[in-house]
């Protein structure tokens, strides 16, 4: 028996969309989290 | 070069920084230091974009609609961006 989903084309790969966890502005202000720094040094091997 | 943030002085996005709009606010990438900063509110992104057009960091916050009770947090956020070199002091007009 044929599986109808087997012929479906694979989902195209998408560029990862950087999304930090959602939070309200008030919560971010309260916790002083309006800015978050990240260094990408050393991540070359990931790609 | 990173400098201490004084909200009374004039600031601008560092020329080596690209700012990309995101749903959560904006993502800043510094091509010199290869650092990323998540600006996690739309209002902060507006502040940072308007820095170059305002006479001071404080004025940029006011123009973006930062309320008085939020001011200290936004100035600390700008201080963090100044420390990481994302924004730089510019000569006053």
Is A34 close to B74, i.e. CB distance below 8 A? yes
Q: Does residue B2 fall inside a structural domain?
A: no
b/e burial code for range A2-26 (CB count within 10 A of at least 16 → b): eeeeeeeeeeeeeeeeeebeeeebe
Interface test with B, best of A16, A26, A27, A29 (most B CBs within 10 A): A29
Q: Is this prediction's ipTM beyond 0.95? A: no
What per-residue confidence (pLDDT) applies to B30? 94
Range of the domain at B38: 11-87
Of A19, A34, A41, the CB nearest to B44: A34
Q: What is the pLDDT of residues A3-43, one digit of tens each?
A: 555 555 555 565 556 666 566 777 776 667 899 988 777 66
Residue found under tokens 């507006």 = B46
Domain total for chain B? 1
What per-residue confidence (pLDDT) applies to A21? 55
Q: Does residue B60 fall inside a structural domain?
A: yes
């Amino acid at each position: 028996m044929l599986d109808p989903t087997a012929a479906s084309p694979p989902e195209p790969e998408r560029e990862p969309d950087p999304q930090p966890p959602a939070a309200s502005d008030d919560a971010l202000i309260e916790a002083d989290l309006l800015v978050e720094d990240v260094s990408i040094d050393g991540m070359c091997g990931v790609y | 070069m990173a400098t201490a943030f004084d909200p009374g002085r004039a600031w601008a996005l560092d020329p080596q920084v690209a700012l990309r709009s995101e749903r959560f606010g904006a993502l800043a990438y510094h091509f010199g230091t290869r650092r990323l900063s998540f600006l996690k509110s739309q209002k902060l992104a507006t502040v940072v974009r308007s820095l170059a057009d305002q006479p001071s960091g404080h004025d940029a916050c006011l123009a973006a609609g930062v309320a008085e009770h939020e001011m200290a947090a936004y100035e600390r956020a700008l201080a963090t961006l100044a420390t990481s070199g994302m924004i730089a002091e510019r000569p006053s007009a």
